[in-house]
Amino acid sequence: MSGPKPTNVGWPDPTDWVNRLYEEMAQRQSVYDTETDPLLKRYKAGNMLGLVILSLLELPAFKNEPVVLPLKDLMLFLADLDRGRDHPWSAPVNFGGTNITTTAQLELKVWVRAAFVVLRANDFKPVEAYRRIATGLTKSGRSGRNGGDVRWQLVQRWCLESETPRHHRVREKVELWWADFRIQTSAFNIDDSGGQPVPEKEIAGKFADMFWSFDHLRDRSVSGVSE
């Protein structure tokens, strides 16, 4: 006979707590994704952060500790922006250059490099992999300069940039996704026309093609422009 999970005194039931938080976040996320006004989108993102803070404060370990204060500071920053108030955090850092690449677009570079590693490990030559990725980015709604297609030379430049610890973390995640994708497609490795196994290269190409529509890539929430 099963019953509620035991918890310490003062703690909410963990399953109930997680389910309530998830359901509320899922409801707000569905509204957030349909919002087209960037200012209202920012406001809704701030509300989501507030929901997370309130949920954490339900837990006794967080009620009397200052560990959530950085999140609250971020909430105050967003609230000041929504009220048209100046805030010290609103000033962009001046690096003395003209690079206007957004953080989300910088993140896209990391995922591009991870996809390139998968393609190279499955018989794609370098330029062939650059072209496949550039085509996938263009088909997914990204664009290059002046609204044109994403150029394979841009992908090449990204893939040749110096690596950071984040590159390694993302690469590990993508390689796990590739392994899962490979298992899921194992039952479909027979070509109906010739009865021959589909080459690993073709399967990897399909994986790369669908890669750019995953929700984790947030560069398109800012702009479809890749450079």
Residues 113-133: tens digit of each pLDDT: 999 999 999 999 999 999 999
Judge whether 227 lies within some domain.
no
* Calpha distance 47→29 (Å, rounded): 10
In this predicted structure, the answer to whether residue 74 has a pLDDT above a threshold of 80 is yes
* Domain co-membership, 131 together with 202: yes
Which among 17, 106, 127 is positioned nearest to 61, based on CA atoms? 17
Share of the chain above pLDDT 70, in %: 82
Mean of the pLDDT values across residues 74-81? 88
Per-residue pLDDT at 21: 95
* Domain co-membership, 59 together with 117: no
Per-residue pLDDT at 144: 82
Mean of the pLDDT values across residues 171-187? 84
* Domain co-membership, 112 together with 206: yes
* Domain co-membership, 58 together with 158: no
Decide: residue 37, CB within 10 A, 0-12 exposed, 13-18 middle, 19+ buried. exposed
* Domain co-membership, 85 together with 140: no
Residue 190: phi and psi, rounded to 5, are -110, 125
96 confidence band (pLDDT: 50, 70, 90) = low
DSSP code, position 197: B
Judge whether 7 lies within some domain.
no
Residue 84: phi and psi, rounded to 5, are 75, 20
Mean of the pLDDT values across residues 191-218? 77
Residue with tokens 């609204």: 147
* Calpha distance 52→57 (Å, rounded): 9
147 confidence band (pLDDT: 50, 70, 90) = confident
What pLDDT, in 10s, does the model give residues 28-41?
998 988 888 888 98
* Domain co-membership, 76 together with 173: no
Mean of the pLDDT values across residues 104-110? 82
- Domain span including residue 25: 14-90
Residue with tokens 């957030």: 32
Residue 62 CA, distance from chain mean position = 28
- Return the ∠ at Cα 223 (arms to 218 and 224), rounded to 5°: 90
Greatest extent of the chain over all pairs of C-alpha atoms, in Å? 68
* Domain co-membership, 79 together with 171: no
* Domain co-membership, 119 together with 188: yes
**Token reading at 67:** 């560990």
Using a cut of 0.85, tell me whether the model's pTM lies above it: no
Domain count, the chain: 2
More confident residue, 92 or 70: 70
* Calpha distance 198→203 (Å, rounded): 7
Mean of the pLDDT values across residues 181-193? 66
Judge whether 141 lies within some domain.
yes
In this predicted structure, the answer to whether residue 221 has a pLDDT above a threshold of 60 is no
Judge whether 226 lies within some domain.
no
DSSP code, position 93: P
